[in-house]
Structures are given as structure tokens and as C-alpha cells.
Amino acid sequence: MEISAIQNEIKNWKSKLDKEISTSWRSPSNIALLKYWGKRQGQLPLNPSLSFSLSEAHTTTKLTAVPDAINAGISSLNKDIYHPFLNKIHPYWQYVINEIPLLQHYSIAIETENTFPHSAGIASSASGFSALATALLDLAQMLSGNKLAKEDFYKNASSLARMGSGSACRSVYGGFTLWGKSSEWPGSSDLYAIDINAMIHPSFRQLHDAILLVSAKEKSLSSSHGHSLMNEHPFAAGRLLQANNHLELFRKALAEGDLELLSQISENEALSLHALIMSSKGGSILLEPSSLVLIQRIRAARQKGLAVFFTIDAGPNIHMIYPESEKEKLAAFIHDELSDICQENKVIFDFCGKGAVKMNENV
Ligand code: PMV
């Protein structure tokens, strides 16, 4: 190649890099106390759900966009242009450019990392899609020069995250959030989650979640298949009634700081989720014998006066929830009675935390 051609090439690259725009967002995972299970067309929930965002378990996602009409779309994931997840993200990308047409003129590289292993029993899709959605929306703001008001930004980001993974819409906010329309909750919506921290009793604002690892094996039932089984579930109507009744009880327990009531309905939710899974077509059993031993021990400890309860997602791991005030007693309980049952004695400690935040204000 001649010197002038090389100079031209460098100039091209330089002008390309000059127009490069990056943004990086961090978002937490969340743990639901009132479970989302089953969905309608358009990734809309069959019933309302309620969760709190975690702190230690989060995803950080950096997006770098370059104007490129020919190679527009998601160009790579963690610098891998053949990453298997790129195929999965394709339908999501189609939705994104439908909502934000401006992005269809850019080639976007994704770099992403989680603070927790895929197999930790923590929903990585929730933090992953929440981080991706907030970063995409921010990128669109930077490229267009139109900045949304904070409340609108989070509402739109929640809706965008929902299309990637339902529970992700709850992760954009910190603390407690509610997703799903309920006539009893003004402002609630099936399209996005809302921040409900204003009504939470101060004693519940710093709940802890110790994840007792029972098995790190790949889930035998994907959540999308699990949700679809609710469409012809014989108990679907009853479940809708139950979830709406529970929502009202959650509101009472959370507002009044009633740990006894919160424990009862949260555990009932977790066991109902598994009962629905077991009574679905195919009859999946996701709990392991050790899950049941842990549940019995947690209940026995509560009867002896320890302020603790459990919840479970669609897997065998047990999330043990307790208030900040109980932290020391719980550490001793886990050490003496629970960790020996966990896989490799593994317990992951987390607590209620912030929602999605921008990492690089100056980029
Ligand atoms: O967001 P999805 O499709 O992975 O579904 C999550 C379902 C549960 O974790 C079982 C319950 C919930 O509300 O998070």
C-alpha cells in the first residue's frame, strides 16, 4: 500500500473514532417477593409482581456506537463478533429500533460483565437487560441531544428492559418496585415498573438476601417455557386471584413494617410458584431435597424468634430474607445450621440497593 493510501486509511479511522460515542451503565439484579409467573402477548404479565433490587449482584454494560449505515446493529459482544448471545439478542434489537429508530443507523459494540457467576441462582437476565436498556436509552439521548426528565427516562428504560426479560423492568429502580396493573395502585402499569419506596416502612428499607446455594446446575425449566405453561394451566384463574389478594397484603405488611405478615405471604408466594410449576404440563420439580431441609430449618428458626423468612425463584436455591437488625444473629445461624447443606458451603450475601446508574458521566 502506498504512503498516501495508508494516510487516507488512518484519516478514515480517525474521523470514525471522532464520532464514536460511549456510555456505560450499572444495574442490579432483583428478588421478587410477589412472583411474576405467566405472560400475555407483548411481554405483559399475567399478574402484578413486587421485588426489591439487590446491591452486590449487578451487571455493568458499556455501549460504543459508531455511525455505520451498512453494518448497523449490534456488532459484537465482549469483542466477540460470533458470540452465541448475539443471535438471541436479534429479536430484541428489532424491538429497540422500532421504538428508537435513530439507533438503526449505528453499529453498536457491547461490553458487559456481571459481579456474580451465571450459576449463582441470581437472575442475570434482570440486571443484564436493565443495564442494556438504560445504556441504549442514554445512547439515544446523547445522539439526539434530547434529554428526558429523570422520571420519564426510568419509565421508558423500564419498558425497554421489560421486552428483554420481564423481571428486568423492576431492576431499573432501587429499593422496592411494583410491575403490573392493579386498580388498587394508582400509576401501576403492565408496561413498566414503578418505584414504591415512599410507602415502605423504614425497618424494611434495608432488607438482606442471603442466597443459600443448593445447586449451580443449569435450570431444567427455562423461564420463558415456564411462563408459557401458564397459558393452559388449570389453576391460572385462581393464581390471578391469589396474586392480587397477596398484593394487598404486601401493601399492608410493607407499609406497617409487619414482618410476620410479610414472611407468611412471601413464603406462600414462593411455594405457590413451585406448586404452579409442579402442576404445569410436564410437571417439573425444581426443588432439591436440600431446598426442603433449608426451608424447614428457616421456619424452625423463625418459630424460635429469629426474624427471617425465605423466598425462591424458579430454581432450587433458597433466598433467605431478613432485616438489617438481625444481621449478626443470622450470620451465626447460617454458619451453625445452614451452610453445611449448601453446595460447597456456598452462601452469597446481598442486600437491598440502588437501581441503574450511569458510570461515565464524562464520556
Ligand atoms: O423475567 P423472567 O422471564 O426471567 O421471569 C422471572 C420469573 C421469576 O423469577 C420466577 C419471578 C419474578 O417475578 O422474578
Q: Domain segments of the chain: what residues?
A: 3-196, 204-351
Average per-residue pLDDT for the chain: 93
Q: In angstroms, what is the span from residue 352 Cα to ligand 1's centroid?
A: 18
Q: Is residue 67 over pLDDT 60? A: yes
Is residue 14 over pLDDT 60? Answer: no
Higher pLDDT, 243 or 69: 243
State the DSSP string of 264-326.
HHHHHHHHHHHHHHHTSTT------HHHHHHHHHHHHHHHTT---EEE--SSS-EEEEEEGGG
**Nearest C-alpha neighbor of 263 from the set 230, 294, 292, 306:** 306
Pocket of ligand 1 (CB under 6 A): 32, 35-37, 49, 123, 125, 165-167, 223, 227, 273, 313-314
> For the residues 56-80, what does the mean pLDDT come to?
94
Cα of first residue to Cα of last residue in the chain, in angstroms, is: 35
Q: What atom in ligand 1 is closest to the CA of residue 167?
A: 1
Q: Is the CB of residue 128 less than 8 Å from the CB of residue 168?
A: yes
Under the phi-then-psi rule, with left for phi > 0, alpha for psi from -120 to 50, and beta for the rest, what region is 123? beta
Name the grid cell of 41: 402477548
Q: pLDDT at position 1, please? A: 60
**CA dist., res. 351 & res. 204, Å (int):** 11
As given in the structure block, the three cell numbers for residue 104 are 438503526
CATH class of 3-196: alpha beta
Q: Which atom of ligand 1 is nearest to the CA of 314?
A: 10
Cα(81) to centroid(ligand 1), Å: 29
CB 160, CB 92: distance < 8 Å = no
In this chain, the answer to whether the domains covering 3-196 and 204-351 adopt an identical fold is no
**Which ligand 1 atom is the nearest neighbour of the CA of 39?**
3
The predicted pLDDT at position 267 comes to 98
How many angstroms does the Cα of residue 3 sit away from the middle of ligand 1?
A: 58
- DSSP string computed for 182-243: -TTSTT--SSSEEE-GGGS-GGGTTEEEEEE-S--SPPSS-HHHHHHHGGG-TTHHHHHHHH
What's the CATH fold of domain 204-351?
Answer: Alpha-Beta Plaits (3.30.70)
259 CA distance to ligand 1 middle (Å):
23
Which H/E stretch holds residue 167? none
Q: Could you tell me the pTM of the whole model? A: 0.93
Instruction: Identify the band that residue 117 occupies on the pLDDT scale cut at 50, 70 and 90.
Output: confident
Q: What's the 167 CA to ligand 1 centre distance in angstroms?
A: 5
CA distance 287 to 296: 13
Q: Under DSSP, is residue 353 helix (H, G, I), strand (E, B) or coil?
A: coil
